[in-house]
Amino acid sequence: MKKLIISGLIPMMIFASCERAFSQEIKKKNIENNVQSTENPLGIRLPSEISSTETVCILLRHAEKENVGTDPDLSSTGKLRAEELKRLLGNVHIDNIYTTAYNRTRQTAIPLAESKGIVIKEYAPAATIAATQLFISNILAQNKGKVVVIIGHSNTVPEMVKVLSNNTLNVTISETQFDNVFITKNAATGSVFAVQKKFGQSTP
């Protein structure tokens, strides 16, 4: 009788042990997911999760600028947004950062670039859709398997997003908007993913 009781208890003990292990694994996954959403609010994938044929682009307009001169610096509000960008991407692996030669785009990128130890690469803003397509083609070709940040202007970022999203994400950025950030993922197969998010202090 004792043998029967013991033999009956063994499967129950094994089941209970497996159930505890499974429960602990679920809790661990939930904790990891919560940490990921807290530390990486944009949901950018880890380098090990990005295919060698994919490129992830993070695009945004420069932060708020002073209203003086032809090449103004960032305003105090803009400098705060630049710091917010650094915080936003603090736990995201970044391979390259691209900006135009203007003070407002470079100054938006500097806190992030310095925190990542990345040398900013300059590009000329495209004047035509054909030039935009060529620029994006070069970015994708040079950054396979990488994550890049591209900082531009209210009239150039929408065009780049349009090209990267295969015309699925058509946006406009007004002169008073500085809180948009766009994330795209392009694969060599032609598949694309594109989403628009917000960061920092809201703007009209």
Same domain, 88 and 2: no
Q: What is the mean pLDDT of residues 35-41?
A: 57
Question: Of the ranges 21-30, 53-62, 145-154, which one carries the lowest mean pLDDT score?
Answer: 21-30
CATH number at residue 83: 3.40.50.1240
Looking at the fold, whether 165 and 137 belong to one and the same domain comes out as: yes
Same domain for 53 and 104, yes or no, is: yes
> Are 120 and 92 in a shared domain?
yes
Q: Both 85 and 139 in a single domain?
A: yes
pLDDT for residue 41:
81
- Asked whether 90 and 114 are in contact (CB, 8 A), the reply is no
8 Å CB contact between 59 and 140: no
The answer on 53 and 15 residing in a single domain is no
Query: Do both 16 and 79 map to the same domain?
Result: no
My answer on whether 51 and 28 are in the same domain is no
Residue 188 pLDDT level (bands cut at 50, 70, 90): confident
CA distance 106 to 125: 13
83-123 pLDDT, tens digit each: 999 999 999 999 999 999 999 999 999 999 999 999 999 99
Query: Which region among 32-36, 53-57, 80-84, 150-154 has the lowest average model confidence (pLDDT)?
Result: 32-36
Question: What's the CA angle centered on 195, arms 31 and 106, to 5 degrees?
Answer: 95
Element (H, E) at 116: helix 103-116
In a domain, 204, yes or no: no
User: Is the predicted pLDDT of residue 204 greater than 60, yes or no?
Assistant: yes
For residues 150 and 139, the answer to whether their CB atoms sit within 8 Å is: yes
**Residue 175, domain member (yes or no):** yes
The pLDDT score that the predictor gives to residue 20 is: 53
Beta sheet of 192-198, edge-to-edge order: 121-122, 96-99, 146-152, 54-61, 180-187, 192-198
Given the DSSP bridges, would you call strands 146-152 and 54-61 parallel, antiparallel or unpaired? parallel
Domain limits for position 168: 47-198
Mean pLDDT (the chain, rounded)? 87
pLDDT value at position 46?
A: 87
Confidence of residue 7 (pLDDT cuts 50, 70, 90): low
Mean pLDDT value of segment 11-26: 50
185 with 84, same domain: the answer is: yes
